[in-house]
Amino acid sequence: MAAGASGPTMTFGRKKKTRSIWDDPDAVEVVEIPLEQLHPNPFNPRLVYRDEDIDELTESIKAEGGVLQDLSVAEVEGFLEYWRARLAETQPEKLEELEDKLGSVPAGDYVTLIGHNRKLALARAGKDTAPCKVTNSKIPRARLLGLPENMRRIPLNPIEEALGFQGALDDGMLQAEVAAQTGCKQPHISRRIKLLKLAPEVQQAVMDGLAVSEAEILLDRLTTPEQHLQAWRVMKEEGIKAAFAAARVLAPSSPTTPKPKAKPAPKAKPTSAVPPQKTNSPDEQAPEEAPAADSNPEEIKPTGSDHGEKQAEQTNPDGQTEPEPDHSVEAAQLRVHACRTVLELGVPSNPRETLRLLAPALLASPSKAAREMAHEWLRTTAKPIGPDATSPDKYFAEVSASGDAKLTAHVALAVALAVAEQRASAANRAWDTQVSDYLAHLKSAVNYQPTDWELDRLGGK
């Protein structure tokens, strides 16, 4: 197969005779057909016709006095006869769509197999007819014909390509055959077809300009169209990348720091001039006496311990006091939450970034606590990772013996994160470059935002 000025070509037999897929062996003459008798190919993959493309073609038609290549058409009657029978056998759900588009068209009209853009440009140029070759022999290839034609002239967007490729596969062609017919490589075809798994709104975003690489990240990291749509809306609303949006979708609700139980409010002191007499139970202390009216209020000062408690406590609207949250505990919970999200996403594609975490963990010989933490993370993800072993030692032994390089790397990443988290959580250890790299990795992988307390420990970095 070769691609030249006339487009992709096919090889037939041992003589290696090649011809363009647009050759018209059954067309002996060019006929002028009124534009109103030309109807779109219902299998044409192009969904979007850009005005600037049609205008450019219109100017070319005006300058040349007509189109440089004739349109390829087929008779509607023969087209419907063939495709009604074929779809009834292979894809009955597509019959209604075919009837909607061509069922009411007069039998003497034509289906435009190749040349949709030229027909639109001729109409804009003020022409009433189009030069056409009637090529009924191409009716069985109606799904594929528009694909290379569109790719050769005005490129299709990725979703249109995907629809064209899928249509060819629906006709029973193999991906290798589609690749040979269109000049595209097979991996490209596979990636394009995968885009059709996206939710319709996300497919529209791809047609509107969302980078295919971003859409592919959503497909790789999320499993359902609902998740794709949720992530796309996060991307659009917050202006973040697909990897961060996917992490947001996969992550459980953000952790919150548990609040300590509030201490009961002190009993109100009696306000009457003569407090009522009360017999105290053995468990109760006698109420403090109110200061004398002529005493100096400034002489009544809280003790050092009372003063410290007042600084560390806040009063809520109910008059109860609550201790301030432990910022180190709060930060640790947020980091663990981020680690779990990282593991949901899998091993980062950047090996250097992973090695920066793995190397210190290997040199430090992971502690039992770190291994237990990693094991707990791996077994409690939305989709548990690795063998179903409740014992950390048995779990890591089975992973090592599995020979699964991808799983081993995933588990090693979990251990490295756990080692880093143990280091960051150590109360008496100053934060160093390893902790800084750990937080930087969380930020890069899942858009983790360090707390003010963490930034303070890092020295405002």
pLDDT tens, 374-416? 999 999 887 788 999 999 999 999 988 988 888 888 888 899 8
Q: What is the pLDDT of residue 48?
A: 72
Q: What is the pLDDT of residue 344?
A: 76
The answer to whether position 256 is within a domain reads no
Q: What is the pLDDT of residue 408?
A: 87
Q: What is the pLDDT of residue 28?
A: 61
Q: What is the pLDDT of residue 298?
A: 43
156 within 8 A of 150, measured Cβ to Cβ? yes
* Long-range own/partner contacts, residues 165-174 (CB < 8 A, 24 or more apart): 165/189, 165/192, 165/193, 166/193, 166/196, 167/43, 167/45, 167/143, 168/143, 168/144, 169/193, 170/90, 170/91, 170/143, 171/143, 171/144, 172/90, 173/144
Phi-psi category of residue 65: left, alpha or beta, with phi > 0 → left and psi -120 to 50 → alpha: left
Amino acid at 381: T
Q: What is the pLDDT of residue 248?
A: 79
Amino acid at 388: D
The answer to whether position 144 is within a domain reads yes
28 within 8 A of 91, measured Cβ to Cβ? no
The answer to whether position 217 is within a domain reads no
Other C-beta atoms lying within 10 Å of the C-beta of residue 354? 18
Q: What is the pLDDT of residue 252?
A: 56
The answer to whether position 13 is within a domain reads no
Q: What is the pLDDT of residue 460?
A: 53
385 within 8 A of 378, measured Cβ to Cβ? yes
Q: How would DSSP label each residue in 126-170?
A: T-SEEEEEE-GGGGGGHHHHHHHHHHHSSPPPHHHHHHHHHHHHH
Other C-beta atoms lying within 10 Å of the C-beta of residue 18? 14
Amino acid at 268: A
Of 99, 119, 150, which one is at a domain's C-terminal end? Answer: 150
| Calpha distance 137→143 (Å, rounded) | 13
Three-state SS sequence of 32-94: EEEHHHEEECCCCCCCCCCHHHHHHHHHHHHHHCCCCCCEEEEEHHHHHHHHHHHHHHHCHHH
Of 105, 129, 150, which one is at a domain's C-terminal end? Answer: 150
CATH code at 30? 3.90.1530.10
Q: What is the pLDDT of residue 304?
A: 40
Count of domains observed in the chain: 2
The answer to whether position 209 is within a domain reads no
237-265 confidence digits (pLDDT tens): 888 888 888 877 876 554 444 444 444 44
Secondary structure class of 238 (helix, strand, coil)? helix
| Calpha distance 393→351 (Å, rounded) | 26
179 within 8 A of 185, measured Cβ to Cβ? yes
Could you tell me the two tokens for 99?
């009837």
Of 116, 150, 184, which one is at a domain's C-terminal end? Answer: 150
Q: What is the pLDDT of residue 284?
A: 46
Q: What is the pLDDT of residue 181?
A: 76
Q: What is the pLDDT of residue 229?
A: 94
Other C-beta atoms lying within 10 Å of the C-beta of residue 124? 15
Walk along the chain (461 residues) in steps of 10 and give the mean pLDDT of each run. Answer: 37 36 56 93 79 86 86 92 88 87 90 89 92 90 72 77 85 82 86 93 92 90 90 89 82 48 47 44 46 44 41 52 73 86 71 65 79 92 86 91 87 89 87 87 80 83 49
Other C-beta atoms lying within 10 Å of the C-beta of residue 119? 20
Q: Cα angle vertex 280, ends 275, 285, to 5°?
A: 90
Range of the domain at 119: 20-150
The answer to whether position 192 is within a domain reads no
Q: What is the pLDDT of residue 67?
A: 86
The answer to whether position 221 is within a domain reads no
CA distances for 132 relative to 11, 20, 119, angstroms: 26, 17, 10
The answer to whether position 215 is within a domain reads no
Phi/psi of residue 347, nearest 5 degrees: -75, 130
